[in-house]
């Protein structure tokens, strides 16, 4: 059974070809596995990331799309123009644990764009975001921040996602591996 989750898109800002391939790929894989409908790799095109994510999706299923090269500011403004809300994950925002920020995001009833940076983001992102959300107030990985945000936002439902088009599926069990391939 494929679970329907609210529409969430991730905007990855600041991907650097020379050093971020692996981490950006992991951000995309977390997004795919945790129910994100689309990833926007802002301001750059890196076909290696798209190939990696495409290969995983081909085997494991999922309908996540990937957009590349769109200027970040244009992507955010277009998202808001279409009625979506923007959540920027930052260590400087409202702490996800000690505030009601997630409840306020849910109450908007809008599709959500999650902005995560690979490098220091421009100050303008803080102003364009509807919500600046801190996953703790210490330096940490944007991949970890995304996973925690998605898990809290979806209330754990993303952990039970099953993709109808999957060619490979793991059957959970106490010991050993049970892998089904089509």
Give me the number of domains the chain comprises. 1
Whether 137 shows a pLDDT value over 50: the answer reads yes
Is residue 165 included in any domain, yes or no?
yes
Is residue 68 included in any domain, yes or no?
yes
Is residue 13 included in any domain, yes or no?
yes
Structure tokens at 147: 């996973």
pLDDT of residue 21: 64
pLDDT of residue 19: 63
Question: The domain containing residue 118 runs over which residues?
Answer: 8-181
C-alpha distances (whole Å) from 120 to each of 49, 90, 112 are 21, 10, 22
Summarised one tens digit per residue, pLDDT across range 30-87 is 999 999 999 999 988 888 889 988 999 999 988 789 999 999 999 999 999 999 999 9
Is residue 20 included in any domain, yes or no?
yes
Summarised one tens digit per residue, pLDDT across range 4-21 is 567 999 999 976 666 666
Summarised one tens digit per residue, pLDDT across range 144-161 is 999 999 999 999 888 888
Is residue 74 included in any domain, yes or no?
yes
pTM across the whole model:
0.91
Is residue 3 included in any domain, yes or no?
no
pLDDT of residue 139: 83
pLDDT of residue 151: 95
Specify which residues 133 forms β-bridges with: 94
State the CATH number of the domain containing residue 163.
3.40.1280.10
pLDDT of residue 15: 66
Whether 22 shows a pLDDT value over 80: the answer reads no
First to last CA, the chain: 17
Using CB atoms within 10 A of its CB, is residue 70 exposed (0-12), middle (13-18) or buried (19+)? middle
* Widest Cα–Cα separation across the chain: 50
Is residue 2 included in any domain, yes or no?
no
Is residue 1 included in any domain, yes or no?
no
pLDDT of residue 1: 35
pLDDT of residue 176: 93
Q: According to the per-residue pLDDT averaged within each range, which of 35-39, 115-119, 130-134, 138-142 is highest?
A: 130-134
């Amino acid at each position: 059974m494929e679970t329907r989750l609210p529409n969430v898109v991730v905007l990855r800002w600041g991907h650097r070809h020379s050093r971020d391939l692996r981490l950006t790929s992991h951000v995309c894989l977390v997004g795919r596995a945790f129910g994100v409908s689309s990833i926007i790799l802002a301001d750059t095109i890196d076909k290696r990331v798209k190939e990696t994510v495409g290969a995983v999706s081909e085997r494991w299923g999922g309908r996540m799309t990937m957009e590349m090269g769109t200027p970040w500011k244009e992507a955010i403004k277009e998202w808001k123009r279409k009625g979506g809300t923007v959540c920027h994950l930052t260590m400087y925002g409202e702490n996800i644990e000690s505030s009601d920020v997630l409840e306020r995001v849910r109450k908007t009833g809008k599709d959500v764009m999650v902005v995560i940076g690979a490098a220091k983001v421009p100050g303008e992102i803080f102003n364009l975001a509807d919500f600046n959300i801190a996953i703790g107030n210490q330096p940490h990985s944007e991949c970890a921040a995304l996973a925690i945000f998605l898990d809290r936002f979806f209330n754990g439902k993303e952990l039970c996602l099953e993709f109808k088009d999957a060619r490979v599926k793991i059957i959970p069990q106490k010991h050993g591996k049970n892998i089904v391939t089509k």
